Amino acid sequence: MSLKKTKSELAKIKKASIIVAKTLKLLKAKIRPGITTKELDTEAEKFIRKSGAVPAFKGYRGYPASICASINEEVVHGIPGGRILRGGDIISVDIGVELDGFFGDAAITYPVGRISKQAEKLIDVTREALYKAINMAKKGNYLSDVSHAVQSHAEKAGFSVVRDFVGHGIGTSLHEEPQIPNFGEPGQGLKLEAGMVLAIEPMVNAGTSKVVVLDDGWTTITRDKKLSAHFEHTVCVTNEQAEIFTRVK
């Protein structure tokens, strides 16, 4: 669909996004040592369907679950299963929802119990990188200003950004143009306009930026097995500060 959405299209993307945010909030309350990622997936799917929506990831290119649950060195696209969360783990929960033909998409990395200082810093820096990027997502700025904000914040902290996966436009499909890399020089590419909806999703690694996809075809881990964090919001570019459609209240 067009990069610039109409008011009624924006309202529908926002509705889907609010269900994503509510599902993330629900799962936050359930994440603790002893729970499996499959249980989180089941709870998420139940809540999304009860809300009248559909889990957008399920069946997407054959993806087998409703959420992505990526633990520790897993970067993105971890498939929920019998793995039990342990204190000290970090887990990225990524959720997409389709409602009335429109999509919302967001991710948060949560600590499980008490975590190391290094893990805490990685989570904080990745979240900050997302919010710095969102601050750049305004009318008149360039798309690469958003990308650059992620890269510069992550690298200043001594971390690296993943280059093999990108953020994306979103609307009547989960993934639309433009692609939004988490690195790049400022002032390049698309000029942002009010009404564009972007899913900005920094993936930040403690060590190397290199990643490997496992044999299941989905689970992506860091090549050096060091920690990775991931945050994502669906945001709408306006004349002023971008509106975060997936804001968790």
Contact residues toward ligand MF3 (CB under 6 A) are 57, 60-61, 63, 68, 77, 94, 96, 105, 107, 168, 199, 201, 232
Query: In the complex with ligand MF3, which residue's Cβ is closer, 139 or 236?
Result: 236
Shortest Å, Cβ 197 to ligand MF3: 13
Please, what is the minimum distance in Å from the beta carbon of residue 168 to ligand MF3? 6
Residue pair 110/28 in contact (Cβ under 8 Å)? The answer is: yes
* Binder of residue 77, out of Co ion, ligand MF3, none (CB less than 5 to 8 A by kind): ligand MF3
Instruction: Give the nearest distance from C-beta 68 to ligand MF3 in angstroms.
Output: 5
Q: List, as own/partner pairs, every contact residues 206-210 make where C-beta atoms lie below 8 angstroms and the sequence separation is at least 24, other chains included.
A: 206/118, 206/122, 206/159, 207/160, 208/160, 209/160, 209/161, 209/162, 209/163
Q: Which residue has the tokens 């942002």?
A: 192
* Strand ordering across the sheet containing 203-205: 160-161, 203-205, 228-230
Q: What's the token pair of residue 249?
A: 């209240």
Instruction: Output 76 or 221, the one with its CB closest to Co ion.
Output: 76
Residues 6+ apart with CB under 8 A from 83: 36, 37, 71
List residues binding Co ion (CB under 5 A). Answer: 105, 199
Nearer to ligand MF3, 75 or 237 (CB): 75
Classify residue 109 by burial, with Cβ atoms within 10 Å: 0-12, 13-18, 19+: buried
Q: How far is the CB of 168 from Co ion (least distance, A)?
A: 6
Q: Least distance to ligand MF3 from the beta carbon of 137, Å?
A: 16
Per partner kind, with CB cut-offs from 5 to 8 A, the member of ligand MF3, Co ion, none near residue 57 is ligand MF3
